[in-house]
Structure 1
Amino acid sequence: MNESEQSNVTSAIAELLKDISSSVLQSVVETLNSLGVTSPEDFQYVQEADLLPVLRPIQARKLVSAWSQIKQSADSLSSSRESSSGTRSSSCSSSPSCGKASTVALDWADNFEIPWQKFPEALTQCLERKKRPSPRLRRDMVRIVVSEIMKVCDCPSKQSSTAIAKKMVAKYPASLQDVIEGDIVGSGYHSLVKQIQNRIENVKRLNVPKIRKRSRTEDSDTEEIPAERKAVVQDTYGCVNWDFKLMPLNETKESQLDKQERMKIKSKTTNADPEEVSNLLKATCFSQCKDINNGASIQQLCENWPFLFQEIGMCVHFKQLTGIDLKEMFLKSLDKKGQWLLNFLKTVGAEKKTKVQQTAAKLGVMRCQTEGCSEDLKDVVLLLLAYFDEKEEVMFHMWKTLALLKMWR
């Protein structure tokens, strides 16, 4: 199966199973490839048992059923056309919807017409004059394009978004291409694909739990408003466990308060056991989220949940919300991309900016003289600050040795 055929097969599956993850989708494509499927037309020969190793039974049945219906519809349509009269054929040819399949064409993205004529005049001027549009105009452009996309397909795949973004950048590269300091970044259209995908997700997100926003009236503008009514509208985007509906079975309101008090006491000591604190934070996550989602102020949260504003509390809370170990994920990403980024900053970055070159030379002298976290990590952070002209004192707390000695005494 070549790249084009694989893209068509992937899009067809994604259209039918809208909630399938990218990893499972890839496994399905690989399975079909091993079975000899080379195009969507071959779907009719796939059986439910062929898909069970990678899909749940219901998902497999959905695919097989949908492919069977498409084949039956195509056969019945072909038969009706053969038996139809000349008048009917003429009428059908003049109708834009006659004979249209119930599913979206697999190559719809390739034939998608970018609605250039619907763009605001200011945006059109920028594109034609090869100028970079402002963030506001760029967002308007994405909204218009996605609005037209959703009219054609209610669940576009990433491949479709990529094809459309690629066409847009190809027509106006000076205005839309991803460029930093004159260098094209990656494919040149990744950021536009990302914007289109994010907008599609926002449009599709219809039913999500929300905190009700206080209805504003003229008479109530001056009255004191409870904290929970001040909470802004939020949603579950990015979280796997945004709002804990129920308290853990082995917990009670009294036990939650008891653990909260224990953490308050431990936060005032310097030798608190990290593992014990971590367990207490996990056990009280229900109460923490309840306070946060009800609109408690930062000051109240800091007083009631002091560890929440320390490294251990942030990491535990982040994992409870997203299911991702923050430090582990960061270090994995650093292992994969850190050396590449470090080499880029020391070579390309140093050539473009004197400050980066000076920082790199300074770090080379100081290397192996520091203790603590990875030296590569320190170098990356400091070089990034130099590359983007950020001040170190804004990012770090500066402590004098004498001050530290006095504090510990």
Structure 2
Amino acid sequence: MFIDQGRLSLGSKGISMDDSGGNLGDVNWNKVPNRVKKYLQKGTRLPPSERKELVRFIVDECIYDNKPYPRTSQLRIVAAKAVSKYPKSLLDVCDGDTVGTGYDSLLNQLVNRVDNISRPKSQVSLKVHVQLKDGKQFKRKLMDSYGCARWQPDGLPEGQTEATQKDIMEKLQDKFTKNENGDDVETDMMLTYATQRRHINSRDHLLSDTLVKWPYLFQEQFLILHCNYLLDFNIMEKMKMAYANKVPKLLRYFEDQPKEVVKEIELAKKKREDNTPEIIGLLTCLGAYFEEEIEQVILTMPTDQVKYLAYNLHCFCEYNIITKFY
């Protein structure tokens, strides 16, 4: 595999790597996180988690000192420079051949990252979705381009202040330690929805902080409640429909591939006498097909911890991966 370090095709124009987009493409590679740097230096492919971390790093490099968010045309130069510098780790290849421009996947990730962090806190770009019901048109609630009906509410519920929201949050934390799951917990979770979203949407939030501040969000009942309100539809019904419509098609496709995973799924289904192995089996199939390490997708842990996190993994993996094959 050969790549010209001085020029990488930018669409059909073949823009030179020396073309300026200001100094936007001049990423300080010395600041790359160490766990990412070791792959780049060895010239090996980045695992999914390290690649995501690299994307975050590059975008942060592009928008320092309150610079405006970069345009796609500028990110194109950044992606091309990055791939030219580390082709063995970043170049899009299939069976040794360069795919497309060689940096399309990295460019898409950079664009998605910029889109995510630049999303408005208010619903200024909401659109009305019109659907047919019983032969008549009706209007659904406003949704943004990502399909969220309540990405970030503008204010707090009537009668609520920052102080009362903090009190309710601390009360919920105390109830969680006492293993309480009554109706009042559901009421308080809905009452603090706007504050939860503000925490989740903050640029530098950590999942570990969310687990401490809003532990009920990691329980099935309240995660579903939150998602239903965010998206304005029943997420479990949507997932069941996605499973029924898409998983069988994907598994039929994988049956024609030279992989052993499908056979293992069938054996597991016979042993358990149900279809549940298809869920985790599909993730395994996808990992095998794209030659990714399944350990980067599926977290293994002791049995006593599985029940606590199983739904969290099931929901995010199945909804974010399976429903993309629509």
TM-score, normalization: structure 2?
0.44
- Whose strand fraction is larger, Structure 1's or Structure 2's? 2
* Highest RCO, 1 vs 2 (Cα 8 Å, sep ≥ 6): 2
Which is richer in helix? 1
Report the TM-score, using the length of structure 1 for normalisation.
0.37
